[in-house]
Amino acid sequence: MATAGGAIRLGLVGIGKIARDQHLPAIAADPRFALVATASRHAHVEGIPAHHDIAELIAAGHALDAVSFCTPPAGRHDIAAQAIAAGLHVMLEKPPAATVSEINDLARQAKAKGVTLFATWHSREAAGVAPARAWLADRRIDAVRVIWKEDIRRWHPGQEWIMTAGGFGVFDPGINALSIVTAILPEPVLLDSARLATPEGRDTPIAASLAMRSGKASVTAEFDFLQTGPQTWDIEVDTDAGTLRLSMGGSILALPGEAPREAPDREYSGLYARFAELIAKGESDVDPRPLELVADAFLSAERETVAPFAF
């Protein structure tokens, strides 16, 4: 479907903070894509044709090749399915859908239609993740610790949907850590237990503690959505060769006996490069493992109600 020798004609659905902060700059910087139209209920991009919803976007005659979705995960299955049915390649912001069954169904639909489906995990594109995976591949893993704490008011100002059913709560950032852990560890990550702290009157947790395992190694994760001051996105992996540390969301890698390696943020440019590659090859990339761990946590968690939260 992508234009031969030309740019992939892209529609962007959902013009919110993540679209403006990350998607729009990445698209503008990649000559393989041309943003030709948007769809959003409340916003638009100056100079780009704007539509109210996906149906209007598809019907408008823009000769689209692909659509990138930046909407909240709740309700995304239906609108992504419309794009797939129209023969468009689809890229999904994380989390890819509200449930595991929804993302699996979208993968089935994309395969049947012969289009690319890319369920993105942007933190896997952080500079330290690929070298961390390579370094850990032939080492014994003894223990893994995840500390992922950030300020919801800073990163999601006024986004009430994130604390409603289907909004994921603290797992919206926490799933980034899970996407890294499932990418870098050589063996599958399985959930043993979870504790979720949900504010009174809200549907999703503001904090969570997970106990997991990968092979014989224990894997623990602490998530907090009320961190003020410096933000914490750290992963430590104890091995038979020392402790590997990923910090700042995976952008800084520290290996035993070496100075920390740091590189600029190119996560979203990496995602769009991967999307273009998948389209060219006629392939999809759908890894539900981080979402499965979140679903397992909701299913099996010990729950507590904490003080009310307001943005």
Active site residues per annotation: 94
Sign of CA dihedral 237, 240, 243, 246: negative
DSSP character at residue 226:
B
- Residue 83: burial class (beta carbons within 10 Å; 0-12, 13-18, 19+): buried
Residue that is written with structure tokens 């090859």 in the block: 281
119, 285 in Cβ contact below 8 A?
Answer: yes
For the record, the structure tokens of 252 come out as 């800084």
C-alpha to C-alpha distance for 121 and 267, rounded to whole angstroms:
9
170, 206 in Cβ contact below 8 A?
Answer: yes
Give CA separation, 210 vs 1, 11, 144, 224, in Å: 42, 37, 12, 12
Full DSSP string of 134-169: HHHTTS-EEEEEEEEE-BHHHHSTT-GGGGSTTS-T
Which residues are bridge partners to 145 per DSSP? Answer: 220, 236
- Residue 207: burial class (beta carbons within 10 Å; 0-12, 13-18, 19+): buried
> Which residues, at least 6 apart from 134, have a Cβ–Cβ distance to it below 8 Å?
none
C-alpha to C-alpha distance for 273 and 32, rounded to whole angstroms:
8
